[in-house]
Amino acid sequence: MKQLIAPSLLSANFGDLKSDIIMLNKSEADWFHLDIMDGVFVPNITFGFSIIQSIHNIAKKPLDVHLMIVQPERYLSNFKKAGADVLTVHYEACSHLHRTISEIKALGMKAGVALNPHTPVHLLEDSIAELDLVLIMSVNPGFGGQSFIENTYQKIKKLKKLMIETKSKALIEVDGGVNTTNAKKLYKVGADVLVAGNSVFSAKSSIQAISSIKNS
């Protein structure tokens, strides 16, 4: 199994974002993780299309865009134009999930679905075969720096079982509270992609922190 890491720019230095992007280009990071929040689905607001486009212009790795917004189907083509390579929507925010997944893929992006901590994985039974990625939230979405929810390990195991049963080839991504302490276990139970924010950008050496998590 290939172990991927997607540092979250939510924890980057917004006063000098370009320097952090260049640092990630030079690091072992596989993707750039962008958390998009609207202040409605979650109690926080982050960056919009112009910032994503600016990141895309500098980044040399895929943009993994995580939409924590209501009615994400309104903006799918906008995120494609801004540079998204992987576009993940929340199960809880989509009234017509299958249609939204199909539209994301038709636009040429990889399609992902995120599950909040309280949302069971069996709800993806009818759509997982169409997905490229399932994002398990290991904290409540909205803010960086939260503590990891321990039940996440069991949730990953259940998801892995469902994927085997449905012959799904989707990647399992985990977002929230990921660090050098829990990364090895997360990969071991079935995670393919780890999103790490605070543990990367608050480290003495972000490049070393990325390497430590990726090679756990």
Provide the annotated active-site residues: 35, 175
Q: How far is CA 70 from CA 90, 92, 97, 149, 180, in A?
A: 9, 9, 12, 24, 32
- How crowded is the C-beta side of 54, counted as CA atoms within 13 Å? 12
Strand order through the sheet with 193-196: 4-7, 193-196, 171-175, 133-137, 110-115, 86-90, 63-68, 32-37
- How crowded is the C-beta side of 114, counted as CA atoms within 13 Å? 27
Of 58, 75, 81, the residue nearest 89 (C-alpha): 75
> The tokens of 150 are what?
């321990």
Going by the DSSP 8-state scheme, the letter that residue 112 receives in this structure is: E
